Each structure stands twice: as structure tokens, then as C-alpha cells.
Chains A and B, each alone.
Chain A
Amino acid sequence: MEKKLIVKICTGTLCYVMGGAELQLLDEQLPAELLAQVEIQGSPCLDCCNREDSQGAPFVKVGDRIIASATIEKVIDAIKNELNA
């Protein structure tokens, strides 16, 4: 079996409060064929936030790529991109 693409959703408090909480529903909204190819993980603070201001939060890591101001749509696009690359 092919190695799955790792999707890490930051569940650090800053990201979670600044909209990251909604990303917890990613698995429900990801089309089945994509869902089969990824592994979704919650992750503690990804260290992308500088903790000084919330610019860019919430963060998600798709493979090695960091997605800032992540929304479910943005993450799905990024997943498609990575899988096609």
C-alpha cells in the first residue's frame, strides 16, 4: 500500500481559538477518495504561531507544506495539490 499523506491539524490553544476548532470536521468533509489517501492527525502547537500575535492562525501541515489561515476548503485544495504533485 502507498504511504499516506500526513495532514496535521494544529490543536494548540492559539490555533484552536482562532478558528482551528472548525478544522476538526475535516474528515467529515473530505471526499472519500481523498480521505483514503491521507492520515489526519491532531497536533500540539506546530510552532508556527509566534505566540505574540495570532497572524496566520490557524495552521495546518499538509505533507511538508504549512497552510496558514487554514480553512477546510484551503486544506482540501492543498491535499489535492500534494497528491497530484
Chain B
Amino acid sequence: MAVNNAVLMRRELLTRLAKLYNKGELELKIDRIPLELRPKGSQASRCCLYKDRAMLRYKLMALLGFNIRDEEDELTPLSEYVRRAFERTEVEREPLTVVDEVCSACVKTNYVVTNMCRGCLARPCMANCNKGAISFENGQAHIDHTKCVNCGLCMKNCPYHAIVYIPVPCEESCPVGAISKREDGTEQIDYSKCIYCGRCISSCPFGAVMEKSHIMDIFKAFAGPKKVVAMVAPAIAGQFKAPLPQILGAIRELGFDDVIEVARGADETTENEAREFLHKMAEGQAFMTTSCCPSYIAAVQKHMPEIKPFVSDTLTPMQYTARIARERYPDAVLVFVGPCLAKRYETYCDPNADLMLNFEEIGSMFIARGIDVATSASMELEKGIDSTSRGYPVTSGVMNAVKTKIGDRYEVRPVLVNGLNKQSIRELRGYAKSCPGNMVEVMACEGGCVSGGNVIANPKIATRQIADVVRMSEQE
């Protein structure tokens, strides 16, 4: 994700939260965090310091794992939520929550008359508005928001370009129309449509859409009697400026009893995907699509029913890894460490995996513990993992692994869907009738998992590092 202040603020909050926890002072001092970040006399980023602080408080509530809308009493201190977080035994199914106070900043009517309006005689804006939404006050056009239907004709017809379009960034970025305004201007997410791509989170300039973090549940697991095991997505290899064995070592240092590479599960995904492909081709099916991106799977289920028969039944690397981990550690708390919201949802649904930490969260935990990945002790990599499995997180990575496995047993004609958006979803649906190849790899994020919503490294750099790791494992 492109780094901006909203992203950095989220990391800052996570880091402070983790630091207080480590010192045993979370309950005591969490309510001070908004004050420390917006102290008296500092500059407010919105209307006033108090509103800034209220926003930070709500964001912390999300990081504690709560649904902000569930707040019953505005005076309930964060310390109370800390207590409740330690008491709960379940995390929430739906991973998103919206800071309403922030999002009402976007207007429902997308068209606004600016001061450039000259109040001309022709008034084409008014003449072209079919809804009679435009009137003139003090010689300037005015749009009646109760009548406007956002058709944009006024803007198109204004000779002075005096009417501008103001987007609602989250709505604009959502490829499936799952986020929209309520009457009161706040945003609501329709989970019957949401595909967990996380675009709304990244696109909101105020950081109003938040993920409900599992960080408290993980702290609780560390403090409890059970073993805690991390299952780390291969995309991690591109996230820090250190070799993979050290990154895994650093994760272990956080308190995990074991760290398992999800690339191990990717071996099984490749194997089964290849077998399934050969089987499907023998049966005369036109094509098969991969199934490792949970955002794509949600998109198929909710928006592309015609593609369903073509999606492979093979499990994702995370799901296979969770199975393996469960066998090795029947009683442990299994934590998946991954790049995106979609994987948080997948973790929730998986029968074996328990909790999820994204890369930002793990980065913040490192900072809070003073762990510098580059000076951490290396962990020995598991032997025998296929090099192509470590290449999964980059677009074409899964295709490459499966194609290599199939070898000359069948001619694979690859199609890559690199990023889900309105257009690629339309194209994909068309594949049900005619597909330009016989194997389709779909990744919801452009560039692959290295571009997931919660990555730390720039995807270009991460892609290079992943390539290095693949090369290194080839030589093994």
C-alpha cells in the first residue's frame, strides 16, 4: 500500500498499543494515547483537537478488535475495552468497521458548485437538470442535495467548469459496490457483496475504514498456557530488509513457540492444483481457475456464479499449512501471518487456523519490542520446500508453480488476471462462455500478494526480494 499519513498513524497506534501492553500498562494508559498524539497546543488535522482525539480513540477501539458501531456509551474508556478484549473468547467474523465520525466528511452529492460560477444568463446547468435540483442564490448556482441524483449533467454543461465532481473514495475504489452511504452520510458495508479486497481501507484519505485487529487475542494467547504457532505467508520474504531466515527468527522472538512457512502448504496446493487440472482437462472442461486468493473466491461466490464450476477445489496454501500445523500441534493457537484483509477472513473461516496478524501488525510488534529484524537470530528454513512455492505471492507465481509441476504432461495455456476491478470481473464472467486459455490465475491485488492491503514494503522492492528467495531456494 502506498504509504501516507493515515497508514502511518495506524501503525503508530498499533505500536503504542503493543508497547503499553509489553510494559504491563495497557489498561492504565491506553486512554492517554489520543492525548499524547494530539497534545494541547498541537495543530489539529481536522476541525479541532478534540475531534482528532475522538477519531484516534475510535481507531484504537478497532485495533482492540471491536466494532465501533457497538459502542453504547461514549464515555466508556478504552481501558474498559481492553478488559473486555481479554475476556472474549471469539474474534468477530466480519473484519471491517467504520469510524463514522470521520466518514461523514464525504458528501453524498458528488457535484458541487464552486466559486467560479459566474451566474451566467444561459444557465445551462439549470436548463439541463432533469430533476430541478439547481436554483440560483445570490447570483450563483446551488444544488439541492435532496433532489440531485448525481447524473453530472450540470458539470458537463457548465461553460466555466465551475461545477466539480467530488468522489467518495471508498465507494469509488470498491470493485463490487459493497460500500455506500446511509441516510446520515456514514458508510455501511454490505457483506452480502463485500469481497474483502481491502480497497476501501486503503482508499479512504482519513483512514475511516478499519480492520478489527486480533492483536489483543494474540497477546492473550501468549500469556495463556497453550503453545502459539505462527504460520507465515511467503510474501513475508519481501517485507523487511533482511534475509528470510532472519525474518522468521524475528517472528519467533515475539514469543511464538514455532514458526511454519506457509510455502510448505503451497507445495500441496501446487500438487493438488496440477492433479485437478489434468483431471478436469481429461473430463473435457474448458478451463480451470486457481483458488488461492480468498478475495477472488468471495467474488466468485457473490458476483460471478457462472465461474463457480471452473474454480479448482484445491485448498489454499494457508489452509493446507493450518492442517499440517494442527497435526503437529493439536492444542496450539494457530496464528496466520499475512498481507491482507481477505486472508483475515479466510483465517476466520478455516477450521484449523485461529487468529490472524497482518504484516503491519507484526511490524508494529517488532518496534514495540525493540526487535530489529536485521540483527535477529536466523531460524533454519524447513528443508524440501519447493522453490516455486516461495514464488506464490507475485502475480504469475501460482501459475508458474502449477505449470512447472504439470511439465509436459499437458499443454497449459495460461491466462493471468492481475488484479480484480470492475473490468476484470466483467472479463472473467465472459470466460464462462469463451476463455482465451485453459488455466486462469486470479489475484485480487495488482502485482499479487506483495501488493496486499497491509504490506510494509513497496511492492516493487518486495517482488525483487521474493525473486531472490526463489533463486536461493532453487540452489538448495
Contacts and interface: CB of A to CB of B under 8 A. Distances in A.
B461 interface: yes
Contact of A11 (B3, B8, B241, B371): B241
Contact of A13 (B2, B366, B458): B366
Contacts of B461: 21, 24-25
A59 to B, nearest CB: 13
B360 interface: yes
Contacts of A19: 3, 8
A13 B461 CA distance: 15
B439 interface: no
Contact of A21 (B15, B370, B457): B457
B373 interface: yes
A17 interface: yes
Instruction: Label chain B's interface by main secondary structure.
Output: helix
Given A13-B373, A22-B3, A54 B367 contact: yes
B166 interface: no
A18 B345 CA distance: 26
Contacts of A44: 372, 374-375
Contact of A17 (B16, B456, B458): B456
A35 interface: no
For chain B, give the interface size range.
20 to 34
Contacts of A24: 241, 457-458, 461
Interface centre among A17, A21, A42, A53 (most CB of B within 10 A): A17
B11 interface: yes
Contacts of B370: 51
Interface in B1-54: 2-3, 8, 11-12, 15-16
B363 to A, nearest CB: 4
Given A18-B11, A54-B367, 13 more contacts: A11-B241, A16-B456, A17-B360, A17-B364, A18-B8, A18-B367, A21-B461, A22-B3, A24-B458, A44-B372, A44-B375, A45-B374, A54-B11
Contacts of A12: 372, 374
Contacts of B364: 17
Nearest to A71: B3
A14 interface: yes
Contacts of B111: none
Contacts of A22: 2-3, 458
Contacts of B241: 11, 16, 24, 42
A17 B363 contact: yes
A14 B250 CA distance: 13
Nearest to B250: A13
Interface string A3-35: 000000001111011110110110000000000
A51 B2 CA distance: 24
B12 A54 contact: yes
B460 interface: yes
Contacts of B240: 13, 16
Interface string B436-476: 00000000000000000000111011000000000000000
Contacts of A53: 16
A17 B11 contact: yes
Interface centre among A11, A42, A45 (most CB of B within 10 A): A11
Contacts of B374: 11-13, 44-45
A10 B8 CA distance: 17
A25 B457 CA distance: 11
A42 B242 CA distance: 11
B372 A17 contact: no
Interface in A36-82: 42, 44-45, 51, 53-54
Contacts of A21: 3, 456-458, 461
Contact of B372 (A18, A25, A45, A54): A45
Interface in B366-397: 366-367, 370-375
A20 to B, nearest CB: 9
B367 A17 contact: yes
Contacts of B371: 13
Contacts of B367: 13-14, 17-18, 51, 54
